Structure 1
Amino acid sequence: MDESEFDELISSLTPYESADTVKTYRNTVSIACPACEEPFDDLVVCRGDYDSLELSRVLDLCVTTVEDNVLLFTHQH
């Protein structure tokens, strides 16, 4: 995924949470995950050198990068 694709993706999602260098977006329009091509639930963007996530539920994750950002696409069971 290049930066223009990332910008287009972000513009289609609903901002949900933001904490330090981690931002979460909700996929309210059923966009397909670029890794598995299934609709994803949330996109978590990690912009820090080191980020920690505390997951409150079991999720499947798909992962990619854009520039220095790690993108986590979540899929609920």
Structure 2
Amino acid sequence: MDDVDFDELVASLTLREENTALKSYQNTVSVVCPACDDPFDDLVVCKENPTSLNISRQLDLCVGNVDDKTVIFTHKR
């Protein structure tokens, strides 16, 4: 993720949720995932360590790290 402009990537996304533990963005413009080069559905930024995620559906995940925060790119199956 070192070669990705994370601020520019996030600027292209739609904020869905923010709380003390995480920020969640929806990818409404088909930005590609920096890990796998396929468009992703959502981006989750974990603001606390540890952070618990409640996922109710089956997803493929790509994971990275930005400014000591874990970022998760979700891909619906």
| Structures share fold, TM-score greater than 0.5 | yes
* Alpha-carbon distance, 1:21 to partner: 2.1
Q: Which amino acid aligns with 1:34?
A: P
Which residue in the other structure is 1:40 paired with?
Answer: 40
Spell out, residue by residue over 1:19-63, the C-alpha distance to the aligned partner (whole angstroms, 9 max, x if none): 222010000000000000000000000011210000011100000
Q: State how far apart, in whole Å, the 2-side matches of 1:32 and 1:66 are.
A: 17
> How many pairs were matched up?
77
TM-score, normalization by structure 1: 0.93
Do the aligned partners of residues 4 and 39 (structure 1) sit closer, same or farther apart at CA in structure 2, a change above 3 Å counting? closer
Where structure 2 has 5 or more consecutive residues not aligned to the other structure, the ranges are none
Which residue in the other structure is 1:57 paired with?
Answer: 57
SS at 2:29's partner residue? coil
What is the alpha-carbon root mean square deviation over aligned residues?
A: 1.5
Which residue in the other structure is 1:25 paired with?
Answer: 25
* Alpha-carbon distance, 1:3 to partner: 9.0
Runs of 4 or more above 4 Å deviation: none
Which residue in the other structure is 1:13 paired with?
Answer: 13
8 A Cα contact 2:4 2:34, kept in partner: no
